Structure 1
């Protein structure tokens, strides 16, 4: 049995933590706050399960600036995989085509080693800025590659070849992607 004094202390500490988290949310979301990034970072370091869920909802919300800050906050947590699922969902949503670049840019804050196919899809199907940033990630990140990863990437590559959004970029991407896929296949032959 936990003594009453300790239980009261823990309850008060929990209330203070909730108030701190709420204050960080307010500061992060305040459009007049010049240091919103710092509050996002602090929020990420203090986030609990409830805050994580709220941040993920913000990523999917209509305010892209708050969504970006929510992505930044989640990059500081141990819920990166859940956050990446939400971020890629937003990136691939057609209504966000003009905002893709901002969301791809925040990916630099995350461990992407297991996300080759997602980054590859952004490279193929993203707008110019998103595609360029994704290409940089493909060149810089050390990805975990498996035969399954290669098959999935080839599936998206074939889809791109048969449905290019920009005919002019096909030859450029072909010159970059085909050697990349060949090199990956050679790893397993």
Structure 2
């Protein structure tokens, strides 16, 4: 890896760096396959601030699907439960048109902030929907109905999700 890239990684991951976001953006614009792989490792790492910056860098690369796979894996990692919202926040920078089911899972099973941000994305992104997508969404919805983490939000989520699923089913009838 070039010396310039190494310096960008060092500045981006330095907890005392005030301009870390700027270096993440720059790193994303210069990313090659090797840089992408290193950024993905940082997304899965122990420090959520670094993971957030790595997500920002990845949003500037052409590797949308691989990046989103790593980000959603990190969001659903139990160790990140308290910072899910911060990781969901960065999803706005990506093409989420193929990620309806992942966002629905975040909405259903995420912490309050993650769930709220996922709902905004569910309402604002235009998704590619297929019968398979609907089946997968219904599977997660049924799992949620039988295992709600928060009984209080069940009624609210029911009012949101059931009409959404019905509307999607009607697209294919």
Structure 1 residue 35 displacement after superposition = 1.0
Distance 1:89 1:150 in 2: 21
Equivalent residue number for residue 19 of structure 1 = 3
Equivalent residue number for residue 52 of structure 2 = 68
> Residue 51 of structure 1: SS of its match in structure 2?
helix
Equivalent residue number for residue 55 of structure 1 = 39
Distance 2:83 2:70 in 1: 15
Instruction: Report whether the alignment pairs 1:184 with 2:173.
Output: no
> Residue 104 of structure 1: SS of its match in structure 2?
helix
Q: Select 1:165's aligned residue among 146, 149, 162.
A: 149
Instruction: Report whether the alignment pairs 1:126 with 2:110.
Output: yes
Equivalent residue number for residue 90 of structure 2 = 106
Q: Mind listing any 5+ residue stretches in structure 2 that lack a counterpart?
A: none
> Residue 2 of structure 2: SS of its match in structure 1?
helix
Structure 1 residue 27 displacement after superposition = 1.1
Distance 2:93 2:13 in 1: 20
Distance 2:171 2:64 in 1: 28
Q: Mind listing any 5+ residue stretches in structure 1 that lack a counterpart?
A: 1-16
Structure 1 residue 20 displacement after superposition = 1.3
Structure 1 residue 50 displacement after superposition = 1.0
> Residue 32 of structure 1: SS of its match in structure 2?
coil
Equivalent residue number for residue 174 of structure 1 = 158
Distance 1:35 1:95 in 2: 27
Structure 1 residue 99 displacement after superposition = 0.8
Q: How many residues align?
A: 173
Equivalent residue number for residue 3 of structure 1 = none
Distance 1:150 1:56 in 2: 29
Equivalent residue number for residue 88 of structure 1 = 72
Deviations 1:111-146 (A, max 9, x none): 000000000000000000000000000000001000
Structure 1 residue 92 displacement after superposition = 0.7
Structure 1 residue 36 displacement after superposition = 0.8
Alignment root-mean-square deviation, CA: 0.8
Name the TM-score, length of structure 2 as normaliser.
0.98
Max radius of gyration: which structure? 1
